[in-house]
């Protein structure tokens, strides 16, 4: 329901200006914090995830579409409108499979490490405990014994 003197675009612009004024004049209020989260923090986080490869791919697609449009003329809009969804699907398919491969490798490595830790933990928990004595143990040193050589002849003793 719009005012008869104002157009739809003017109402949307006025609402956006009021929201912007709330965001600037009252940033510490609950509405100001919610507006900041929805209009500043969330878009900034999404834009921060864009990689160089994605920007280069978008530039390549736009330049290719512009080149085709310049070469073909007025029919280019219809051709591009028919072909770009398929091209975007193909590009997304390759990128998603790379992400899935990386995810599978990460999950496999993490589960292997986790299973090893669980196996070690179970071995320590279920290991039979030894009876301990109250007398302290003394460390015994191993006694080195000289090798017995019963041979009378010294030539054979060296060979042994």
Tens of pLDDT, residue by residue, the chain (160 residues): 555 566 677 888 888 899 889 888 988 988 889 888 988 899 999 889 888 888 898 899 889 878 877 887 777 677 777 887 887 777 777 666 677 778 788 888 777 777 677 777 777 777 776 656 666 666 666 666 666 555 566 665 555 5
Contact in structure between 68 and 78 (CB atoms under 8 Å): no
pLDDT at position 126: 76
Helix, strand or coil, per DSSP, at residue 106: helix
Contact in structure between 139 and 150 (CB atoms under 8 Å): no
Is 81 among the domain residues?
A: yes
Is 38 among the domain residues?
A: yes
Is 131 among the domain residues?
A: no
pLDDT at position 79: 73
Is 142 among the domain residues?
A: no
pLDDT at position 59: 92
CA dist 106 → 63, 113, 132 (Å)? 36, 11, 44
DSSP for 26-90, please give it.
-TTSHHHHHHHIIIIIHHHHHHHT--HHHHHHHHHHHHHHHHHHHHH-TTHHHHHHHHHHHHHHH
Euclidean distance between CA atoms 125 and 117, whole angstroms: 12
Tell whether 91 and 117 lie within a shared domain: yes
Is 112 among the domain residues?
A: yes
Q: CA 148 from chain center: how many Å? A: 66
Tell whether 73 and 25 lie within a shared domain: no
Tell whether 45 and 73 lie within a shared domain: no
């Amino acid at each position: 329901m719009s005012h008869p003197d104002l157009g739809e675009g003017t109402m949307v612009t006025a609402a956006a200006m009021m929201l912007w004024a709330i965001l600037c004049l009252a940033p510490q209020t609950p509405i100001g914090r919610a507006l900041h989260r929805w209009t500043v923090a969330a878009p900034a986080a999404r834009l921060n995830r864009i990689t160089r490869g994605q920007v280069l791919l978008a530039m390549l697609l736009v330049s290719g579409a512009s080149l085709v449009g310049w070469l073909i003329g007025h029919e280019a809009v219809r051709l591009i409108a028919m072909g770009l969804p398929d091209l975007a699907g193909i590009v997304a398919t390759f990128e998603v499979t790379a992400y899935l491969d990386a995810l599978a490798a990460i999950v496999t490595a993490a589960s292997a490490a986790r299973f090893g830790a669980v196996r070690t933990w179970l071995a320590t928990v279920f290991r039979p405990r030894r009876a301990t004595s109250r007398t302290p143990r003394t460390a015994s040193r191993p006694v080195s014994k000289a090798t017995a050589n019963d041979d009378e002849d010294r030539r054979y003793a060296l060979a042994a």
